[in-house]
Structure 1
Amino acid sequence: MDENPPAKIRLTMPTKAVLDLLLSAVDDDPPWGYRICEESGLGPGTVYPILERLEQARWIAGTWEADAPPDRPKRRTYQISDLGSRAYRAALAKATRPTARLRWGLRPGEAR
């Protein structure tokens, strides 16, 4: 087990979009990279580096699909970890300053 503390994540709007998708995912249908790109409207050059950083920080866990149909490659699916869920919610709760709320697309008085 890695004894190093998880890395801090800078919550940019694209990172927030990816985390929001992962939080809303159903356990029996975890999203994979291309689906995250499609649903977030972000390109692969944005999404895949975010997924890599989140996985290195242990905010998410990626696993290769066990049985892929013969007509396509295996997918790497992603789920948010307990650590990631707690850390993300804590970061959102800290977003009480008006500039932070605006940066994350929250209007004054709007709860998340």
Structure 2
Amino acid sequence: MPPFRATLQTRLVLETLLADPPAELYGLQIVDATGLPPGTIYPILARLESAEWVTSRWEDGEHAEGRPRRRYYRLTPDSVEPARALLAASAQRRQAHRRPAVPFPHPPLGGLTR
């Protein structure tokens, strides 16, 4: 069990970071990839960093004028496999709870009156 709640939003962040584990993504890239608002993403990233599943660093040196420095996030090498396992277990649980499709019962056509 991870040391944080694996909510749908947390799983979306992990999926995004797992797309290319060694890559560093800045917060707004994660916002764009997940479709979640920044007010949701940044607390999740902070929890993942506290749990030592994610590391971050501030952009160094020169950056484009008119924008703040970016903070880059990536999964730690030790968290890649646990993150994959967490997502796989979550997918298995969702699959196990799915009900098989049942056809919608239609009323007999001859029984309808106007």
Q: Out of 19, 22, 25, which is 1:24 matched to?
A: 19
CA radius of gyration, larger in:
2
Q: Out of 52, 68, 71, which is 2:46 matched to?
A: 52
Q: Out of 30, 33, 36, which is 1:39 matched to?
A: 33
What percentage of residue pairs aligned between the two structures are identical?
Answer: 37
| Structure 2 length-normalised TM | 0.70
| Structure 1 length-normalised TM | 0.71
The 1:26/1:55 distance shift into structure 2, 3 A limit, reads closer
Amino acid across the alignment from 2:69: K
Q: Out of 55, 62, 77, which is 1:61 matched to?
A: 55
Unmatched runs of 5 consecutive residues or more in structure 2: 100-114
Give aligned pairs, total.
97
| Partner SS state of residue 53, structure 1 | helix
| Partner SS state of residue 74, structure 1 | coil
Q: What is the RMSD of the two structures over their aligned residues, measured on CA atoms? A: 2.7
Give per-residue Cα distances to partners, 1:31-51, cap 9 Å, x unaligned.
111111111100011100000
The 1:86/1:41 distance shift into structure 2, 3 A limit, reads same
